[in-house]
Chains A and B, each alone.
Chain A
Amino acid sequence: AQSVAQPEDQVNVAEGNPLTVKCTYSVSGNPYLFWYVQYPNRGLQFLLKYITGDNLVKGSYGFEAEFNKSQTSFHLKKPSALVSDSALYFCAVRDKSNTGKLIFGQGTTLQVKP
């Protein structure tokens, strides 16, 4: 069965420091991978996706993610965190049945402190 795992419930980082939010996946075949962010009292917003091509994907708000096939990971990164980055982050993989359905991880809360 296809799945994604976000091993950390919460990540704490100081403003200005680099941040990483981890995601690992389990799929057969080539994965389509996504990151979404949810701010308080809002819906999920698309950050970036990996379909094919360059393993380093750049997205919104200065975020990027690195696809690592050997480690089956798709970690979200940002070189310098902002307090405004504090939110709930979801990793997702598209269901291989090609139905358009996304399978979401459980989410990681990012807390950036001034």
Chain B
Amino acid sequence: DAGVIQSPRHEVTEMGQEVTLRCKPISGHDYLFWYRQTMMRGLELLIYFNNNVPIDDSGMPEDRFSAKMPNASFSTLKIQPSEPRDSAVYFCASSFSNGYTFGSGTRLTVV
């Protein structure tokens, strides 16, 4: 199993641009989570899905953030427009039963 796959690994973009982060969960996992990690705030849960359905998006910071899961093998997190304060490492994780498997993350820098 290749694990949870995130792309891109690094993204540098200019303020105001749209950014799309991608995640492929482990096959058979029924939960998918998007986290953001910064030095100031630590690990923040943004949104999570169960069987492709969004369950809780209360962690999404603003309307500029949106997430979709069109099928069991793919999810996206979109930021439009991006701002410098969105700079962080974004992690995707998938889960079945107990425990998560994390992807390697996308390091986003907005300049």
Residues of A at the B interface (CB closer than 8 Å) are 32, 34, 36, 41-46, 49, 51, 90, 94, 99-102, 104, 106-107
- Which listed residue, A32, A45, A100, A101, touches B102 by the CB 8 Å rule? A45
Which of the 9-residue segments B14-22, B72-80, B91-99 touches chain A? B91-99
B101 to chain A, nearest CB (A): 7
Is B43 interfacial (CB-CB < 8 Å)? yes
B81 to chain A, nearest CB (A): 27
Residues of B at the A interface (CB closer than 8 Å) are 4, 30-31, 33, 42-43, 45, 48, 50, 55-56, 91, 93, 95, 98-105, 107
A49 B43 Cβ-Cβ under 8 A: no
* CB neighbours of B55 from chain A (8 A): 99
Known A32-B98, A43-B91, A49-B98; judge A100-B50 contact (CB<8 A).
Answer: yes
A42 B104 Cβ-Cβ under 8 A: yes
User: Which chain A residue shows the least CB distance to B107?
Assistant: A41
Known A101-B45, A107-B42; judge A49-B50 contact (CB<8 A).
Answer: no
- Give Cα distance in the complex from A45 to B104, angstroms: 10
- Give Cα distance in the complex from A36 to B99, angstroms: 10
Known A43-B104, A43-B105, A107-B42; judge A101-B99 contact (CB<8 A).
Answer: no
* CB neighbours of A101 from chain B (8 A): 31, 33, 45, 48, 56
* CB neighbours of A104 from chain B (8 A): 42-43
A110 to chain B, nearest CB (A): 16
B98 A51 Cβ-Cβ under 8 A: yes
Name 26 A/B residue pairs within 8 A (Cβ), A-sorted.
A34-B99, A36-B102, A41-B105, A41-B107, A42-B104, A42-B105, A43-B91, A43-B103, A43-B105, A44-B91, A44-B93, A44-B100, A45-B102, A46-B101, A49-B98, A49-B99, A51-B98, A99-B31, A100-B31, A100-B48, A101-B31, A101-B56, A102-B100, A104-B43, A107-B42, A107-B43
